[in-house]
Structure 1
Amino acid sequence: MDAEDVRRRRRRIVVQGPLAPFADGLREDLARQGFSPDTIVDHAHRLADLSRWLVERGLATGELTTMVVREFQQERRSVGVRAGTSERALAPVLGYLRRLGAVPPPAAMAAVTPVDVLLSEYRRYLENERGLAAGTVKHYLRYARTFLTGLPGPLEEALPRLSAGQVIDFVRDWSTRRRSTALDMVTLPALRSLLRFLHLAGRVPSGLAGAVPAGRGRPRNLARPRAAGRGQVRAVLAGCDRGSAVGRRDYAILLTLARLAVRGGEVARLELTDIDWRAGELTVHGKGGRIDVLPLPADVGAAIADYLLHTRPATAARNVFITVKAPFTGLATSSVTVLVGAACARAGVSRFGPHGMRHAAACDLLAAGASMEEIGQLLRHAQQRTTAIYARLDQARLAELARPCPQGAPR
């Protein structure tokens, strides 16, 4: 029997048991997502194994809860089976069954510790009262857990005794341990948010958000340029292999970042309906639910059109930019950051991220004589003081813009 015969036999997987009615639908669903034929066969095997296991346990499809799935995984591992037993391996099969409503949705993890209970309350506060984006909520909860688990003694005793000195000590220790420059931009706002919540919820007697240091950056980082240079941006764009599928996509993303100064998450969230080709406009879904309509430059439109016509995989996803491996879904914000970092490495320039390109656009406009109001309109800032942060330049570039003081002028 040759390899082709083996492959044909593998593709004739017969699923028996309670999950048998879903076999054909699973294959079609995976094919629509762009999975290869061999990968579809692997998932059909997992469906067959899971269905057979349900028969052995006398369980119906509707009884396939999260706990039952874990029992299946543990039993398979106990007999030496490793392939197809992880959460990731079973995700396509379980995801399909759950979308159909054939099996119960995944069970939410119960809050079992005082920290878990408090973080659940904090999550509801961030989502319902503050209306923060999912990514921001995730980061804030992570830093909140770090802070709360580091408090001395039981939580119910530590919070009423929480002092400004403890807050300052936490920031100092955290800054010492971390080498990331993201301390000021993420950690400190997250800590202030948690402390405001704790005071509003009556967990701490006084407001301690003001005790969090302003965080002007570490001295060793002050000389590091926050913005990407114009030459660096050009090198990154030139480094894209526009003859390949990945290169076309990456070039379109990078050019959109460079020309429109949008955020990485805004590029990831772009949908096909956000592009008005006739009017030459692009709708951007920004922070806090803000929606802006921007002019679509000809070169950006051409790059996106080239990607859509020749490279974008066939998928039901409505996102403009899609992953290059199945399942073909929209890019995550983190994927855009990784993409920009990889482009920097490919071009041989110092690493920067989507915000570095956004900052570069602000610096170029300021150097060209644009006003803060004009720069703020491009960056879509609600307050001009925010624009001033993005448009901050080093002393050498500021000196180039300064006008000489007239000789003999009164001081």
Structure 2
Amino acid sequence: MNLSVVYQPAVSASTSAYRVRDNQGGELDWANAFLDGQRLRQLSPRSLRIYAYDLLDFARWFEPQHRLLAEITESTIVDYVRHQLEQDPKPTSQTVNHRLGTVRCCYRFHTGQEIPAGQVHFQRRYTRRSPLGYGRLRTTVARGLRLKQDRPVIVPLSAEEVAKFWQSFRTYRDLALVGLMLLDGLRSCEVLALELEDVQLADGQMRVRGKGNKKRLLPLPPDILEVLGHYLRHERPLTNSHALFISLKGRQRGRPVTAAGLRSLFRHHRVRSRIPHANPHRLRHTFGADMVRAGMSLPALQQLMGHSQIATTMLYVELAPQDVWREYARAIEKRKALDSSHLS
């Protein structure tokens, strides 16, 4: 059975546009019923796409066994993990864990229960406390196999790298795109989802649709206000599209900038500026680190960046190595000053 994910515009508000089908057009009922259920929950198309590809990977391994979804156990999950780890290239631990989470959600959707243990038992006991470090430790027991994930450490761009990357852009559209990530912390998908009506130049603010279609109102820095004004008056092609950012030339002129187009734009300017690690996520991380250095509170930064959990915000405020060394040098100088005062 040759399975694939097919995109077809949804004919109703309760049907997912992403479907798992075989090469003859037949639908994989248990997978598509789950996707339709998530569509009822008003999940974003991006989330539905991710779920669809997670289920596709599991179905390609599971369906040739001619078993029912209700028959799987944690032993099945272990065999599925072994299958993934034997692939070349091997998926990351984060990818494997996300797939397992989707399979477990799908099982609960159809049975109303957790996946039974089977012949193996994975139970993890760990302690938790508030992300801010206060409160009592709480013991939590987690069941089910989960791979250990390396904690991501993303070093923000330095001021020199930001300046060099920024100077490689020439059009007002591109400057506005990069500026919204760097000075407002927007995700790449949030920038591409902006529409003309979301930008309120007179009030100096914009409406952003984040993950889960959650809306938040953000200020527009004066520099970005000026660049956006020039783009809208002088560069943006006449088009019926409601998207804020439009392709300026080529066969796609007048159409919204796509995710692939944005990736291509960044690839070009990484080569041109010789800043190989400049990407939308790193610009967003640089914004978070800069705001913390400037003294912004974590709750305010959480609101600006659209995080539902403050623990996520704290991942963006890891100190860069240069910050650590700066604090170390400051502490050493303070210690020397104290020692000299005691000696005198």
Same fold flag (TM > 0.5): yes
Match of 2:6 in 1: none
SS for the counterpart of 1:284 is strand
Match of 2:331 in 1: 404
Cα distance in structure 2, aligned partners of 1:393 and 1:321: 33
Cα distance in structure 1, aligned partners of 2:323 and 2:93: 24
Match of 2:116 in 1: 206
CA RMSD of aligned residues (A): 3.4
1:310 aligned residue (234, 255, 276): 234
For residue 311 of structure 1, report the CA deviation from its aligned partner.
Answer: 1.1
For residue 349 of structure 1, report the CA deviation from its aligned partner.
Answer: 0.9
Match of 1:252 in 2: 176
Count, aligned residues: 289
For residue 358 of structure 1, report the CA deviation from its aligned partner.
Answer: 0.4
Q: 1:150-206: CA deviations, max 9, x gaps?
A: 2384242576244242244245345x6247xxx456553343122221233139843
TM-aligned CA distance change 1:304 to 1:377, over 3 Å: same
Structure 1 counterpart of 2:159, which letter?
A: R
2:221 aligned residue (294, 297, 300): 297
Question: Contact between 1:265 and 1:332, CA under 8 Å: does it hold in 2?
Answer: no
TM-aligned CA distance change 1:399 to 1:157, over 3 Å: same
Cα distance in structure 2, aligned partners of 1:128 and 1:258: 35
2:276 aligned residue (333, 337, 350): 350
Match of 2:102 in 1: 193
Match of 1:229 in 2: 158
Question: Contact between 1:143 and 1:187, CA under 8 Å: does it hold in 2?
Answer: no
TM-aligned CA distance change 1:340 to 1:188, over 3 Å: farther
SS for the counterpart of 2:217 is strand
Structure 1 counterpart of 2:207, which letter?
A: T
Match of 1:238 in 2: 167
Cα distance in structure 2, aligned partners of 1:274 and 1:146: 37
2:303 aligned residue (349, 371, 377): 377
Match of 1:387 in 2: 313
Question: Contact between 2:207 and 2:218, CA under 8 Å: does it hold in 1?
Answer: yes
Cα distance in structure 1, aligned partners of 2:178 and 2:220: 14
Higher relative strand content: 2
Cα distance in structure 1, aligned partners of 2:322 and 2:256: 41
2:51 aligned residue (140, 143, 147): 140
Question: Contact between 2:199 and 2:207, CA under 8 Å: does it hold in 1?
Answer: yes
SS for the counterpart of 2:240 is coil
Structure 2 length-normalised TM = 0.72
Question: Contact between 2:96 and 2:147, CA under 8 Å: does it hold in 1?
Answer: no
SS for the counterpart of 1:357 is helix
For residue 365 of structure 1, report the CA deviation from its aligned partner.
Answer: 2.2
Structure 2 counterpart of 1:404, which letter?
A: A
* 1:331 to 2:254 alignment: no
Structure 1 length-normalised TM = 0.61
Question: Contact between 2:81 and 2:96, CA under 8 Å: does it hold in 1?
Answer: no
1:272 aligned residue (185, 189, 196): 196
SS for the counterpart of 2:216 is strand
Question: Contact between 2:270 and 2:276, CA under 8 Å: does it hold in 1?
Answer: yes
SS for the counterpart of 2:212 is helix
Which one has a bigger Cα radius of gyration? Answer: 1
Question: Contact between 1:264 and 1:337, CA under 8 Å: does it hold in 2?
Answer: no
For residue 392 of structure 1, report the CA deviation from its aligned partner.
Answer: 2.2
SS for the counterpart of 1:216 is coil
TM-aligned CA distance change 1:171 to 1:363, over 3 Å: farther
Q: 1:301-338: CA deviations, max 9, x gaps?
A: 11111111111111000111012334522222343333
Cα distance in structure 2, aligned partners of 1:188 and 1:353: 25
TM-aligned CA distance change 1:276 to 1:396, over 3 Å: closer
Question: Contact between 1:148 and 1:155, CA under 8 Å: does it hold in 2?
Answer: no
Of 263-272 and 369-378, deviating more is 369-378
Unmatched segments (≥5 aa) in structure 1: 1-107, 242-246
Unmatched segments (≥5 aa) in structure 2: 1-18, 123-142, 339-344
Q: 1:109-157: CA deviations, max 9, x gaps?
A: 966688722321231133223x322122212211321122123842425
* 1:160 to 2:71 alignment: yes
Structure 1 counterpart of 2:293, which letter?
A: A
Higher relative helix content: 1
Percent of pairs with identical residues: 19
SS for the counterpart of 2:244 is coil
Cα distance in structure 2, aligned partners of 1:346 and 1:116: 46
